[in-house]
Amino acid sequence: MKKTFPGHFPPEDKEIGRLWENCEIILDTNILLNFYRYSDSTRNDFIRVLRALKSRLWLPHQVAQEYFKNRLNVIAQQEKSYDDTLKNIQTLQRELSDARKHPFLSDKLMLKLTLVLGDVIKELEATKEAHASRTSSDPIQKVIGDLFNGRVGAPYPDGHLEEICNEGEARYEKKMPPGYKDNEKDGGGKSSPSSVSRKYGDFIIWHQIINRAIETKNGVIFINDDKKEDWYLIFQGKTLGPRPELIEEFLSKAGQSFYMYQADRFLELAATHLEQKITPESMDEIREIRDLRKRDMDRHAALFLHREEETMVREEMKFRKEEIALIARATNTRERLDASRMRLQQLSVKLAQLQHAKVIVDKNQEQPRGEGYEALEQILEARRLADIDDLEKELRLTYEESATIEHEYMSIQYMLAGLHKSTEQRFARG
């Protein structure tokens, strides 16, 4: 059964041992960027493990590209975190300095608190300054560059990249992992390497990992702190391991073993298999950073969905407004068309009556009449002919008007149908 469904069976200890002895270690972008979020001691623990594995490290080109694209943003975010923390502590310091707000605290305790807060502020300011300097002189970037020197994959040509993105789009529609959780992100230009990473980045990374395994004929351990359901199998909030589909696809295409760990689990196993010492404090911090990042991502996702809902409501209101306006125009035009057709019918009946009367008069004129009577008949005939001409002219104009109104009415109906169709398509995509 395991041969048929390999993704549903966790690897045995022997298999994990073989993986750790021979496989390549591949890091995701979020692992590299988290180095800027860790304390010095935690980062040093992590880097020490990676140095022990240096000959087996490899980085997909997409990961390296995303790292350089987002590095400065992460540094700026961390600097803002320092600013926010400093402001909060300084506010607390000012409140404590007002003895009237804290009449039950002794002067001795107040002095201790003031000194401690002062030391905290000094250390935060020094750390903030060191962190901000990384925008121009970045020791973390240098370490990453040394670790992966000569161990970064080549970029795909634009044509091949576009094919991969098209494949990714088809997979996303079927919710095939990985990457479909990024489907709502802006894809940018599919053929441009610099603009494609947001929507298709995870799938491109996956594609490059499989190609690497085919090339090296080696298994892979992928370190990823994304904690999303399009990478990990998650049940009742607990992460159980890689999605079975990923393990099976990797085995099917590359013929090799694939496994994936979050950062803390990777370091736990490194401590066992590489005899590397990792402090409990480092493990705790790595978990805290990951959980904090997940909360931030969930909050951003919720905000995005809220904005999407607002946008859809605005679009729905706009559609209803346009629909009401078109229906009102259609109703008014229909009333004008009905009135015009009614007038056509009335004119046609009246013209037919006049023409019938003329025929009768013409027959009567064949009988002998006196001079006075003939003169009167000529006058009446002239009037009848004038009435017929006027009616025919009015009938022609009314017919033309009716045709114009009917064309206008049909155009409004087409506009209304087009509005409904475009709105249905837009809401279906949403």
For residues 169-190, b (16+ Cβ closer than 10 Å) or e, as one string?
Answer: bebbeeebbbbbbbbeeebeeb
Q: Is residue 54 part of a domain?
A: yes
**Are residues 397 and 322 both part of a single domain?**
yes
Residue that finishes a domain, picked among 228, 262, 278: 278
The pair phi, psi for residue 319, each rounded to 5°, is -60, -45
**Are residues 52 and 185 both part of a single domain?**
yes
Angle, vertex CA 65, rays to CA 62 and CA 68, nearest 5: 150
Specify the range with the lowest mean pLDDT, choosing from 24-33, 68-77, 288-297: 288-297
DSSP assignment of 247-300, as one string? Answer: HHHHHHHH-S-EEEE-HHHHHHHHHHHS-----HHHHHHHHHHHHHHHHHHHHH
**Are residues 258 and 158 both part of a single domain?**
yes
3-class DSSP state of 192:
coil
C-alpha–C-alpha distance, residues 222 and 209, integer Å: 9
Q: Is residue 289 part of a domain?
A: no
**Are residues 208 and 349 both part of a single domain?**
no
Q: Is residue 40 part of a domain?
A: yes
218 residue type, one letter = N
257 residue type, one letter = S
Residue with tokens 């919720």, as numbered in its chain: 302
| CA distances for 71 relative to 46, 67, 137, angstroms | 18, 6, 13
**Are residues 271 and 180 both part of a single domain?**
yes
**pLDDT tens string 79-112:** 777 677 777 777 777 776 665 555 556 667 777 7
pLDDT score recorded for residue 188: 44
Q: Is residue 353 part of a domain?
A: yes
**Are residues 329 and 204 both part of a single domain?**
no
What percentage of the chain carries pLDDT values higher than 70?
Answer: 75
Band the pLDDT of 265: cuts 50, 70, 90.
very high
C-alpha–C-alpha distance, residues 352 and 347, integer Å: 8
**pLDDT tens string 382-413:** 556 667 777 778 878 888 888 888 888 788 88
Q: Average pLDDT in the 129-135 region?
A: 63
**Are residues 248 and 315 both part of a single domain?**
no
Q: Average pLDDT in the 200-215 region?
A: 94
**Are residues 242 and 375 both part of a single domain?**
no
Q: Is residue 398 part of a domain?
A: yes
More confident residue, 191 or 63: 63
Band the pLDDT of 360: cuts 50, 70, 90.
low
Residue that finishes a domain, picked among 278, 298, 328: 278
**Are residues 328 and 255 both part of a single domain?**
no
Question: Which residues form the domain of 370?
Answer: 310-429
% helix / strand / coil in the chain, to the nearest 5?
75, 5, 20
C-alpha–C-alpha distance, residues 150 and 344, integer Å: 87
**pLDDT tens string 276-303:** 888 889 889 998 888 876 666 555 444 4
pLDDT score recorded for residue 382: 53
Average pLDDT of the residues of the chain: 79
**Are residues 145 and 228 both part of a single domain?**
yes
Q: Is residue 91 part of a domain?
A: no
Q: Is residue 24 part of a domain?
A: yes
pLDDT score recorded for residue 373: 45
Q: Model-level pTM?
A: 0.61
**Are residues 405 and 264 both part of a single domain?**
no
**Are residues 62 and 178 both part of a single domain?**
yes
Band the pLDDT of 309: cuts 50, 70, 90.
low
H or E element in which residue 39 lies: none
Q: Is residue 284 part of a domain?
A: no
**pLDDT tens string 222-240:** 999 887 888 888 888 788 8
* 238-242/258-261 β-pairing: unpaired
How many structural domains comprise the chain?
2
Query: Is pLDDT at 372 greater than 50 in this prediction?
Result: no
- Between the two ends of the chain, the Cα-to-Cα distance in Å is 40
